[in-house]
Amino acid sequence: MPDACPVSDQMMSDEPAPPLQTGRASWRLWLAVLAAGVTGGLAGISLVGLLRFVQHLAYGYGGGHLISPVSFLQGVTAASPLRRWLVMVCCGVVAGAGWWALRRFGRPLVGISRTLTEGGAELPAGSTLIHALLQVVTVALGSPLGREVAPREVAAVATQAVADRLGLAADERRIVVACAAGAGLAAVYNVPLGGALFVLESLLLSFSWRGALCALASSAIAAALAEMVLGHGWQYHIPAWSSTHGLLWWSLLVGPVLGLAAAEFNRLIDWARHRAPTDGRVLPWSLGVFGVIGLCGMVYPQVLGNGRGPVAESFGACIGLQLAVTLLLLKLFAVGAALRAGAGGGLLTPSLAIGALAGLVLGLLWNAVSPVPTAAGAFALVGGCAFLAASRKMPVTALVLSLEFTHVGYDFLVPMMVAVVGACLVRHLYARAGARAAAG
């Protein structure tokens, strides 16, 4: 993944894109794209089903229904504090034993980004599937990491086999594997456009008409397929806000602050992953870390899970300043500690949660001195979008995901874009200054 947050030089290249292929090669490519969309949709459906089954079983809510009106945060809050702690201890056992056994007996894992590089290794099917299942089960039990990596990995592994079977050229194979990963993201969150942009901005790191059409087609197929089973809806239902001039000025000022925070967050993530044990120490580390997170969850149930609950509460302005600060600190600790223990998972929703909580805190402070107050949830939305864009280095994808997650009015695009530009620019300059200092 490139260090610079803005769109890469490859995406801005003036070189003409490769023409769309014709004949037999074209049919094989589009057959693989269809397979990428279908596998992405099926991966999303099956893993969401597993996630909700484990959640309902562990915390005793929802009646085992795949589509339940009760949210994870509501179910966790209704469970007794002792049950929350015991479930998190079980999560530590599953995480520690599972990832130790995978690293001890399985083939070495290969990241999707690595397999998309020239001459990159193939994704090991068995190890990758087990890795994905471990992520889903631990997130369902309450791990603070994200669930979005698992469907991407499962879809990419399945489509990789299809591409090999069809005998696609190396560049075509790279495109369809990336499209499958984006389709898995599109299916699990119902974000077809966000999934397609993720393929171009974070995986392929380039733009071509062929790549764009393939990404759009596969993500649309996956989202449509998942919608048939999981239902039509979006991740967060928000009140009807009105964008204000105060929100625009706030976005201009806060964007750089969130960019600096994102840079420090990335340093925390890198440190935690670098220090994570890879041997038998994974089990005691996981037991200790998840046990402590469970103790925090006994008092603050919002800490458990990937962060969707705190995001929803931030958007709805359901929490005050003191609780928002507490949850922000606890979420930072939980994410860093889980990675330090050797657990796996994504960072999309955790980053959105941290940004939303930070935006809510800064927004409530702004409202305390502003003559014209703004809806507190609007600050959380802009903050979450900007922090997600800067920390994950995907400004365009973060903007579109925020729109698809909430279906907020397009009048919020301007403050969101202002905050994203400020955050990404400062994060990039800060990272470059740090690299120069290290080299010097």
**pLDDT at 21 (0 to 100):** 45
CA–chain centroid gap for 304, Å, is 16
With 80 as the cut, is the pLDDT of residue 64 above it?
no
With 90 as the cut, is the pLDDT of residue 20 above it?
no
Residues 245-272 have a mean pLDDT of 95
**pLDDT at 355 (0 to 100):** 97
Which pLDDT band, with edges at 50, 70 and 90, does 19 fall under? very low
Sign of CA dihedral 160, 164, 166, 169: positive
**Equal CATH topology for 24-230 and 245-434:** yes
Structure pTM? 0.91
DSSP 148: T
Domain range annotation of the chain: 24-230, 245-434
**pLDDT at 63 (0 to 100):** 65
- Best CATH choice for the domain 24-230 from the list 3.30.420.40, 3.40.47.10, 2.60.40.10, 1.10.3080.10: 1.10.3080.10
Residues whose CB is less than 8 angstroms from the CB of residue 298 and which lie 6 or more positions away in sequence, other chains included: 81, 82, 84, 85
Q: Is 94 helix (H, G, I), strand (E, B) or coil?
A: helix
Q: Where are the alpha helices (DSSP H) in 81-148?
A: 81-105, 112-115, 125-141
Residues whose CB is less than 8 angstroms from the CB of residue 361 and which lie 6 or more positions away in sequence, other chains included: 321, 324, 325, 328
Residues 144-163 have a mean pLDDT of 95
Per residue in 80-120, pLDDT (tens digit) is 999 999 999 999 999 999 999 999 999 999 889 888 887 77
**pLDDT at 440 (0 to 100):** 65
Q: Which CATH class is domain 245-434?
A: mainly alpha
With 80 as the cut, is the pLDDT of residue 67 above it?
no
Give 317-355 as a DSSP string: T-S-HHHHHHHHHHHHHHHHHHHHTT---B-HHHHHHHH
Which is more confidently placed, 24 or 220?
220
Phi, psi of 375 (to 5 degrees): -55, 125
Per residue in 339-377, pLDDT (tens digit) is 999 999 999 999 999 999 999 999 999 999 988 889 999
Per residue in 209-232, pLDDT (tens digit) is 999 999 999 999 999 999 999 887
